[in-house]
Amino acid sequence: MAAPAFSNTIVSSTFPASHSSLPKFSSLSFPSSRSPPPPTQFRNARATRRFTTFCSSDVLNGPKEDTPIELRYPAFPTSLDINKIRDILPHRFPFLLVDRVIEYNPGVSAVAIKNVTINDNFFPGHFPERPIMPGVLMVEAMAQVGGLVMLQPEVGGSQENFFFAGIDKVRFRKPVIAGDTLVMRMTLIKLQKRFGIAKMEGKAYVGGEVVCEGEFLMATGSGSE
């Protein structure tokens, strides 16, 4: 296939002297069937290139205002503070693993948080060089949230204890490390009041991603654990 024919017209020779600020093209030529574009078209093209250079999808999708990072994230709400949690649960240091309840539907569900800190007593041994929250303690923390669902203050929750009757389908998806906030949701699936047996579904999250999940079977009873 033959190459298209081009004329020998040179662009720089067709511009008036008043357009000396435009870049000089010493060898650019155009097909003979088309006339050279006006100088204003080059100006618009240059302006468009400048705009494209400084714009990106990150800028377009970014925040509308430059808010400091420490002001961007609101605090978790408080449905039950640590004092009310201690009124319901019998656990104490070093085994109370719930810091705040952020959503509470007694007898139905609860969402609570555990702030994982390097000062937690299990980190010196698990592990000294890589502090990871033990999976069994994640399960224990979730069970305590389940206890908050079952041991309601209006029925004298602090008068009773609850025990593991079984755990099933427990999976650990990601490690939880010092500095994470563990967000745990426990939902009551089935309750047998006659026997004091409750089946619950639990999921724990860090940053919106599931790190642990499973099914819990728990029993309530009087007396000390």
Tens digit of each residue's pLDDT (9 = 90 or more) over 189-221: 998 888 888 999 999 999 999 999 999 998 876
For residues 167 and 195, the model is more confident at 167
Q: What is the mean pLDDT of residues 151-169?
A: 70
Residue 1 has pLDDT above 90, yes or no: no
User: From residue 223, how far is each of 105, 162, 219, 220 by CA, in Å?
Assistant: 26, 10, 13, 10
What confidence score (pLDDT) does residue 10 get? 44
Does residue 3 carry a pLDDT above 90? no
Share of the chain above pLDDT 90, in %: 51
Q: What is the pLDDT of residue 145?
A: 95
| Least confident stretch, 11-20, 75-84, 91-100, 176-185 | 11-20
pLDDT of amino acid 153: 52
Measured CA distances, 129 to 125, 132, 196, 206, 211 (Å)? 9, 10, 43, 22, 21
| Catalytic status, residue 126 | yes
The catalytic position among 84, 86, 91, 126 is 126
- Joined tokens for residue 152: 């309601």
Averaged pLDDT for residues 175-199? 92
Query: What pTM does this model have?
Result: 0.68
Q: Which range has the worst mean pLDDT, 52-66, 111-125, 131-145?
A: 52-66
Give the strand order in the sheet containing 197-206: 100-105, 109-115, 181-192, 197-206, 209-222, 160-172
Q: Using the 8-state DSSP alphabet, how is residue 96 labeled?
A: -
**How large is the average pLDDT for residues 9-22?**
46
- Mean of the per-residue pLDDT values of the chain: 78
| Maximum mean pLDDT: which of 64-78, 120-134, 157-171 | 120-134
Instruction: Please check whether residue 137 is in contact with residue 211, taking contact to mean a CB–CB distance below 8 angstroms.
Output: no
Q: What is the pLDDT of residue 196?
A: 82
